[in-house]
Amino acid sequence: MIKLSGVTKIYSTGTPAVRNLNLHIGAGDFVSIVGQSGTGKTTLVKMLIAEERPNKGTIEIGDTDITKISSSDIPYLRRQIGVVFQDYKLLPKRTVYENVAFALEVAGEKRDRIHQVVPQVLEIVNLSHKASSYPPQLSGGEQQRTAIARSLVHRPKIMIADEPTGNLDSINTEEIISILKKINEFGTTIILVTHNREVVNHLRRRVVTMHGGEIISDEHDGKYKL
Amino acid sequence: MLSFFRVLKFALQDLWRNISLSFMTVFILILMLLSVNTLWSLDVLTKQAVEAVKKQIDVSIYFVPEATEKNVTEIKNYVMLFPEVTDVRVQTKEQVLADFREKHKNQKEALEALDELGANPFGPTMIIKTKEPKDYKKIIDALNVPEYESIIEAKSFDNHEEAITRLQNITNRIERVGFGLTILFALISFLIIFNTIRVAIATQKVEIGIKRLVGASNWFIRGPYLVESVIFTIISVSCTIGLVYLALRWIDPYLAVILPNGFSLTNYFYSNMLMLFGAQALAVLLLTVLSSLLAMRKQLKV
């Protein structure tokens, strides 16, 4: 499903962010990528959604090497990958419903389909009752659930969650992780980037540990080591 | 078509949800257009005033009382050969006398002196108008020949020469200053509008980033701003037309007093409306679209 081969990214400042990454993630996997700040986790996420391009190596998603796709194809790639961030990245002047619908609107989906899909995903994340609220009116957990709902509208085969619980308390963290597990049960590959020890240890899934821009361990049924 | 309507919807939503910024942008555009229209009105008025003064200037050729009709006709035909001459009017000696009497009807001494003479002391008068005041010198020079010396008593142009030269200088200077001011103002307006739109887009930098992340194409991100530019143009030009119309209606009665030839800025506005506001709308549209594209270039880097 996802295959990184010899991926190296050096920023224009000369700082190497990641070096010679080799990683294979299969369909339906739930992988936690852990490591301290500045180890290249976010750079890896950015490369997976083609926000950054590696200096060396290839990143294959399905049959496509995304390091070679044109700028005009990037939006189509992003519609196939659900992404959730620590800071939620919601449009503050659009309601919960509009934020979720926006991802479908920009993909050219018809109105009937939007009216059908948006309530469904809002129900999955238990936010139907907040559909007409604006992001600033929501709690952190609700905002993150909105972001997850938005990432689900295209029924992505891959979902990347970059520190999704970083701003949340333990109750909301548990709720978000259980939603991610539920999504994974439907067959979606989950890549969870985190440095939350409890979450990783509780999950008991595959753990990839990064340090200094390199992968230092990759264990199935792993634990948080650092 | 579906995506166009969505872009239109996003544009209207953005306009409404950033209403204060939208208002500021339109307000600055209106100020710029009003300034351009003020300069335009001043230019039109200056030209009209100069034309009015020019029309009042002519050259009068005073013939000796003994000059015959044949002499006058010969000179008239000669003068009319000049392409610069637009009008030649001849007053017979009888008309000149009648005019004198009419003009001095309240000056008893003048009329008594005239009666004492017993005969008409005036000769015919020829009034010549040319396209430009500078052409009068050429006509005068052409009449300063020995064969006409005995029948032309005087020429009145000398009195106007200095005034005409001064008027020419003033007109040229006003045109130069007006042109310079227009260029300067257009430049300042461009910078203000460019920065206003850049600020508007910069405040939405985060939103643009989010739109990109959820898979919006560049058209979906850029489109609403371009539609907003069109809406800003339509609103600002429409408001300016209304304000300029009201201002001209208010000014016109005062102009009627200053410009005796019945010139009306409102009528001028009507007859040149399409050209004037079409050009302004096009310029504002170019300005706003160009500013949007330049400001977004950085934000749209994938």
Q: End-to-end CA distance of chain B, in Å? A: 25
The pLDDT value recorded for residue B94 is: 86
Give residue B175's region: left, alpha or beta (phi > 0; psi -120 to 50).
alpha
Q: What are phi and psi of A161, to 5 degrees?
A: -115, 110
User: How near does any CA of chain B get to the CA of A78, in Å?
Assistant: 5
Q: Among A81, A89, A84, which Cα is nearest to A48's? A: A81
Domain membership of residue A87 (yes or no) is yes
pLDDT higher than 70, residue A164: yes
Q: Which two tokens stand for residue A8?
A: 């190296």
The pLDDT value recorded for residue A226 is: 67
Give dist(CA B235, CA B248) in Å, integer. 20
pLDDT higher than 80, residue A82: yes
pTM over 0.80: no
pLDDT higher than 50, residue B302: no
Give dist(CA A37, CA A45) in Å, integer. 14
Cβ pair B190, B287 in contact under 8 A: yes
What is the ipTM for the molecules in this complex?
0.78
The pLDDT value recorded for residue A137 is: 95
Q: Which two tokens stand for residue A226?
A: 């650092």
Q: What is the mean pLDDT of chain B?
A: 81
Range of the domain at A191: 2-9+22-219
Q: Mean pLDDT across the stretch B108-130?
A: 84
Q: Which two tokens stand for residue A220?
A: 């199935």
A42-46, B67-71, B133-137, B280-284: segment of lowest average pLDDT: B133-137
Q: Is A127 on the interface with B (CB under 8 A)?
A: no
Q: Mean pLDDT across the stretch B210-232?
A: 86
Which residue among A50, A106, A110 places its CB closest to the CB of B214? A106
Domain membership of residue A224 (yes or no) is no
Q: How many residues in total does chain A contain?
A: 226
Q: Mean pLDDT across the stretch A85-110?
A: 90
Q: Mean pLDDT across the stretch B110-135?
A: 83
Q: How confident is the model at residue B269 (pLDDT cuts 50, 70, 90)?
A: confident
Which residue among A71, A78, A108 places its CB closest to the CB of B214? A78
Q: Which residues of B touch A93 (CB under 8 A)?
A: 13, 17-18, 207
Residue contact A91–B210, C-beta within 8 A:
yes
The ranges of chain B annotated as CATH 3.30.70.3040 are 65-150
Higher pLDDT, B270 or A54: A54
Q: Which position has the token pair 């999955």?
A: A124
Residue contact A90–B215, C-beta within 8 A:
no
Give dist(CA A128, CA A120) in Å, integer. 9
Domain membership of residue A171 (yes or no) is yes
pLDDT tens digits, A99-118? 999 889 888 888 999 999 99
The structural domain count of chain A equals 1
Q: Which amino acid is at B30?
A: I
CATH 3.30.70.260 fits B65-150, yes or no: no
Q: Indicate which of A105, A154, A159 best probes the interface with B, i.e. most B CBs within 10 Å of its own CB.
A: A105
Domain membership of residue A15 (yes or no) is no
pLDDT higher than 90, residue A128: yes
Q: Domain of A63: which CATH number?
A: 3.40.50.300
Q: What are phi and psi of A83, to 5 degrees?
A: -125, 135
Residue contact B213–A83, C-beta within 8 A:
yes
Which residue among A75, A103, A108 places its CB closest to the CB of B2? A108
| CA angle B211–B217–B219, rounded 5-degree value | 105
Residues 6+ apart with CB under 8 A from B280: B33, B36, B37, B237, B240
Q: Which amino acid is at A204?
A: R
Domain membership of residue A28 (yes or no) is yes
Q: Which amino acid is at A45?
A: V
Q: What are phi and psi of A206, to 5 degrees?
A: -65, 135
The winner for highest mean pLDDT among A167-171, B67-71, B257-261 is: A167-171
Q: End-to-end CA distance of chain A, in Å? A: 28
User: How near does any CA of chain A get to the CA of B29, in Å?
Assistant: 26
